Amino acid sequence: MKIKRNIVLGVASCMLLGNISVANAIYDPDMDYSNLDPNQPRIMLLKEEPLNSKPQDSVGGFHFVLVINNKGINPENTKVYQNENGFIMVPLRIIGEKLGYEVKWNGIDKPIEIMKGAQYTSIKPGEDYYFYGKMAPITLGIAPEIKDSVTYVPLQFLNDILKVDAWMDETGVITIKHEEKVLSYDITKEMMKNEEKNLQIFYPQITGYKGELLMDYMNQSLKRITDIYTKEDSYSDIHIDYQIKKMDNDIISILFEGTGKLQGIRDINIKHSVNLDLKSSNEINYNNLVINDEEVLNLLEKKALEQGLETFEAEGIKLYFEDENVVFYYMIPDDSEKVFTEIYVPKNELEGLINTEFGEKPMS
């Protein structure tokens, strides 16, 4: 059964009867709205309702309706409201799950985690701090709210944090669009194990890529971490897994992390990244990414201070890509804890300071 929603459109007068009434419309959630002309009305007049009939969940006399990727959502399950400060608040879970995110509730007074692939953010009701990856929190002017056991976020959260297109038109229809890119390859998870050395390393391999030679070169790069720790007798008790930090048709960025022992005595923390330019199959590292080393180092020092670090003393800077950020990481010299420091820099702040081309394709 189709669920239909009355939406208040405006005041119409009946010339014959002399009555003044509010015109209403039916919104059909099963209809595909992708081919409609945005300059033409989206909904049709159906019936009249007395002028004093005012919906409670309305702004400017209009009901709110959610349309996600051209599909209408049952209004009874998606209560949207405007709070006392004028912010449009939308339900987090149903929108997140419709967009393919996992929304993890960790209990009262705990952060709510929103995850999809390499994308991660967290929020906490009552606090105007929205965490995106491991960057400094972003404020949106309004904290998430819980109403009738449902978590709500401002509409702006979808644009600024989840990076999807979301807007509300003059009829109260909230349109949310996010088109997933079709990848020209897939990634499988492989494992290298050595029981004698108590070693276990997970690593990715590309499958289905159109150029077999390029795919072979890139898979060699992705598997190289196993050579580092299996061919050296000084390493033991190595346990490494990986995360896919960026995966599109231009770049694959993999971050390996783990622990182990050096010469059987000293505990070590492992952090290693492989970034692949899919156009050339070449690896991307600090040396071939950065054009102006001095300016990049100055920017990293500024970002380090913003993150609360007292000094910026880096050696052997490495990097990976995450969403629209370049994440630089390094180990502070003489750090007794041997932990890595990460600095997130939005890619647009590096414009003119980094390369966008990383060589020609190898000869087949």
Q: What is the domain-level CATH number for residue 274?
A: 3.30.565.40
What phi and psi, each to the nearest 5 degrees, are found at residue 236? -150, 170
Is residue 256 within 8 Å of residue 240, measured between CB atoms? Answer: yes
Same domain, 117 and 87: yes
Among 134, 160, 177, where does a domain finish? 177
Asked, for residue 359, whether it belongs to a domain, the answer is no
Q: Are residues 260 and 280 in the same domain?
A: yes
Q: Is 304 helix (H, G, I), strand (E, B) or coil?
A: helix
Same domain as 278, residue 133: no
Element (H, E) at 294: helix 293-306
State the Cα torsion 196-199-200-206 to the nearest 10°.
-100
Residue 99 located in a structural domain: yes
Residue 360 lies in a domain: no
Residue 138 lies in a domain: yes
| CA distance linking residue 157 with residue 122, whole number of Å | 11
Domain count, the chain: 2
Q: Do residues 162 and 218 share a domain?
A: no
CA distance 61 to 192: 63
Q: Yes or no: say if 175 and 167 are a contact pair by the CB < 8 Å rule.
A: yes
Looking at residue 134, what is its pLDDT? Answer: 62
Q: Are strands 88-91 and 102-104 parallel, antiparallel or unpaired?
A: unpaired
Query: Do 28 and 173 have their domain in common?
Result: yes
CATH number at residue 109: 3.30.457.10
What is the pLDDT, as a whole number, of residue 208?
92
| Domain end position, chosen among 120, 151, 177 | 177
Note whether 135 and 170 are same-domain residues: yes
The two tokens of residue 197 are: 């050395």
Helix (H, G, I), strand (E, B) or coil at 122: strand
Domain extent for 67: 5-177
233 and 307 in a single domain? The answer is: yes
Question: Do strands 58-59 and 266-277 pair parallel, antiparallel, or not at all (unpaired)?
Answer: unpaired
What integer pLDDT is reported at residue 18 of this predicted model? 36
Whether residues 193 and 157 fall in one domain: no
Residue 284: the pLDDT is 96
The answer on 230 and 147 residing in a single domain is no
Q: Report d(CA 185, CA 180) in Å as an integer.
A: 14
Torsion (CA) 17, 19, 20, 25 in degrees, nearest 10: -60
3-state secondary structure of 194: strand
Please check whether residues 145 and 231 belong to one and the same domain. Answer: no
Per-residue pLDDT tens listing for the chain (364 residues): 433 333 333 333 333 333 323 333 344 445 554 555 544 444 333 333 333 334 345 555 557 888 998 888 877 767 899 888 889 999 999 999 999 899 999 888 889 999 887 678 889 999 999 987 666 688 999 999 999 889 999 999 999 888 899 999 888 889 998 877 778 899 999 999 988 889 999 999 999 998 889 999 999 999 999 998 988 888 999 999 999 999 888 999 999 999 999 876 788 999 999 999 998 999 999 999 999 999 999 999 999 888 888 778 777 899 999 988 999 999 877 655 578 889 999 999 999 999 999 887 665 5
Has residue 357 been placed in a domain?
no
